[in-house]
């Protein structure tokens, strides 16, 4: 008799573990061996959740907000989200056009599960946040990448978008300010993108605006649904409290979009996880209605660190670095470092070789750009303290200095 083991679905084979997590795991293993590892791999704010938000959660728990919440979000949080969209984005959403999910990540999962059939194409500007292509593939979708060039500040051009669209395109993803490059689209950029999308009326548009508050040097964030109101019946505007309010662990993301799409996404979520933790929802409502100064303080800190890191990187021979206008990442180019050998004897053929050797030899964890669809670059998260960032840049300089 043949002995076989229980197997796995084909879709989980396609669901590779993101490189960001893989790097963090490797860094943790080195730390466990007693090394002082500096981690610039994860996009997690180093600030604490504002105390007033934590108090609101405490009050909600004591008040008995401990029962199953509605699948699409509590009325109180949805009202706070509607106020936020009106105040900050110039967007008007009725309660039936809003839903709350377990982080922005579940918004994407719900939306793709509700709309993608096998073979549908999802246009994603590259470099991209790793979860978009992974989620698309999970449902049989085919990611198609639109190249964002360094010379354009990694912004998406109308020409690159147009070239990526085919009759099979189901979604176009926009993520500005961008993870991983920090690129911010100007009003004129978005108007040109809207012109392209108008010519393709059967395409859904996902605008992931989770980094909207983190824009620097006077740059302004614009929502595509506000720039092109005629497209709103196809736009899903995604946001969340993770990045703007240092609330990654609370797991609250949300979206505004056309009622029929929100209804189908709610159906997906109702069959998977139901409503988001009632206490987290009370906390998120307090965050959204809270003082804007807290966000401004964090933004100014990220801006200062970004300048410090970019200047330190630019001083390293063989490393280039665009000045990001948003988010909290730097995306240095390392083309001139490839084809060389590290002090530890490692031949660096790809940016992944560079990132792995840097971790093993200098104990600095970052993620190679090709994991985000564009190499040879590195993504360094600036969401950590000044001292760590300064020391990490010094170690990168020492690593590059040792290349022969």
Segment contacting ligand PLP (CB under 6 A): 28-36, 240-248, 352-360, 365-373? 240-248
Shortest spacing between CB 236 and ligand PLP, in angstroms: 13
Q: Judge contact between 372 and 128, C-beta under 8 A.
A: yes
Interface map 42-61 toward ligand PLP (x if CB under 6 A): -x------------------
Residue 240 lies near ligand PLP (rule: CB under 6 A)? yes
Measure the CA–CA gap between 82 and 229, rounded to whole angstroms. Answer: 17
Please count the other Cβ atoms lying within 10 Å of the Cβ belonging to residue 142.
17
> Per CB under 6 A, which of residues 324..363 are in contact with ligand PLP?
none
Shortest spacing between CB 253 and ligand PLP, in angstroms: 4
Choose which of 74, 169, 175, 232 interacts with ligand PLP (CB under 6 A).
175
Residue 105 lies near ligand PLP (rule: CB under 6 A)? yes
Measure the CA–CA gap between 51 and 36, rounded to whole angstroms. Answer: 31
Residue 256 lies near ligand PLP (rule: CB under 6 A)? no
- The smaller minimum CB distance to ligand PLP, of residues 175 and 342, is found at 175
Q: Which tokens in the block code for residue 404?
A: 């022969």
Residue 208 lies near ligand PLP (rule: CB under 6 A)? yes
Residues 6+ apart with CB under 8 A from 217: 303, 325
Phi, psi of 121 (to 5 degrees): -100, 140
Residues 6+ apart with CB under 8 A from 37: 27, 30, 31, 359, 363, 364, 365
Shortest spacing between CB 3 and ligand PLP, in angstroms: 41
Interface map 147-166 toward ligand PLP (x if CB under 6 A): --------------------
Interface map 210-239 toward ligand PLP (x if CB under 6 A): x-----------------------------
- The smaller minimum CB distance to ligand PLP, of residues 110 and 179, is found at 179
Residue written as token pair 């490692």: 346
Residues 6+ apart with CB under 8 A from 208: 104, 108, 129, 173, 174, 175, 238
- The smaller minimum CB distance to ligand PLP, of residues 278 and 381, is found at 381
Q: If binding means CB under 6 A, how many residues of this protein chain bind ligand PLP?
A: 13
Question: Which SS3 state, helix, strand or coil, does residue 11 take?
Answer: helix
- The smaller minimum CB distance to ligand PLP, of residues 251 and 342, is found at 251
Segment contacting ligand PLP (CB under 6 A): 5-13, 98-106, 133-141, 359-367? 98-106
Residues 6+ apart with CB under 8 A from 279: 57, 60, 61, 65, 66
Residue 103 lies near ligand PLP (rule: CB under 6 A)? yes
Residue 182 lies near ligand PLP (rule: CB under 6 A)? no
- The smaller minimum CB distance to ligand PLP, of residues 74 and 102, is found at 102
Measure the CA–CA gap between 313 and 306, rounded to whole angstroms. Answer: 11
Q: Which tokens in the block code for residue 347?
A: 């031949």
Question: How would DSSP label each residue in 171-201?
Answer: EEEE-SS-TTT-----HHHHHHHHHHHHT-T
Q: Which tokens in the block code for residue 183?
A: 């690129």
- The smaller minimum CB distance to ligand PLP, of residues 179 and 280, is found at 179
Shortest spacing between CB 248 and ligand PLP, in angstroms: 5
The residue with its CB nearest to ligand PLP is: 103
Residue 253 lies near ligand PLP (rule: CB under 6 A)? yes
Choose which of 179, 232, 280, 381 interacts with ligand PLP (CB under 6 A).
179
Question: Which SS3 state, helix, strand or coil, does residue 390 take?
Answer: helix
Residue 129 lies near ligand PLP (rule: CB under 6 A)? yes
Phi, psi of 337 (to 5 degrees): -90, -10
Residues in touch with ligand PLP (CB under 6 A): 43, 103-105, 129, 175, 179, 208, 210, 240, 242, 248, 253
């Amino acid at each position: 008799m043949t002995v076989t083991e229980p197997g796995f679905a084909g879709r989980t084979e396609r669901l590779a573990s993101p490189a960001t997590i893989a790097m963090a795991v490797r860094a943790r293993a080195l730390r466990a061996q007693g090394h002082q590892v500096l981690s610039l791999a994860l996009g997690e704010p180093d600030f604490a959740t504002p105390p007033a938000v934590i108090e609101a959660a405490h009050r909600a728990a004591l008040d008995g907000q401990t029962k199953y919440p509605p699948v699409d979000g509590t009325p109180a949080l949805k009202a706070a989200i509607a106020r936020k969209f009106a105040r900050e984005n110039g967007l008007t959403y009725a309660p039936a056009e809003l839903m709350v999910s377990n982080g922005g990540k579940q918004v994407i999962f719900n939306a793709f599960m509700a709309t993608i059939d096998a073979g549908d194409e999802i246009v994603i500007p590259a470099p991209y946040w790793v979860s978009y292509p992974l989620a698309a593939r999970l449902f049989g979708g085919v990611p198609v990448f639109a190249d964002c060039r360094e010379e354009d500040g990694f912004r998406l051009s109308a020409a690159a978008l147009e070239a990526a669209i085919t009759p099979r395109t189901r979604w176009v993803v926009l993520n500005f300010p961008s993870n991983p490059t920090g690129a911010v689209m100007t009003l004129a950029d978005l108007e040109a993108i809207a012109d392209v999308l108008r010519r393709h009326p059967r395409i859904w548009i996902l605008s992931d605006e989770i980094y909207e508050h983190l824009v620097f040097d006077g740059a302004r964030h614009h929502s595509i649904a506000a720039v092109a109101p005629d497209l709103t019946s196809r736009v899903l505007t995604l946001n969340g409290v993770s990045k703007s309010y240092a609330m990654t662990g609370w797991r609250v993301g949300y979206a505004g979009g056309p009622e029929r799409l929100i209804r189908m996404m709610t159906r997906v979520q109702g069959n998977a996880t139901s409503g988001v933790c009632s206490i987290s929802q009370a906390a998120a409502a307090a965050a959204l209605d809270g003082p804007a100064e807290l966000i401004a303080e964090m933004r100014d800190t990220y801006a200062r660190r970004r300048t410090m890191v970019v200047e330190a990187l630019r001083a390293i021979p063989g490393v280039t670095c665009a000045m990001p206008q948003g988010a909290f990442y730097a995306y240095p180019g390392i083309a001139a470092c490839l084809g060389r050998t590290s002090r530890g004897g490692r031949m660096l053929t790809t940016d992944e070789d560079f990132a792995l050797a840097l971790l093993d030899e200098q104990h600095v964890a970052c993620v190679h750009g090709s994991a985000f669809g564009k190499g040879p670059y590195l993504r360094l998260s600036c969401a950590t303290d000044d001292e760590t960032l300064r020391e990490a840049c010094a170690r990168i300089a020492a690593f590059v200095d040792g290349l022969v």
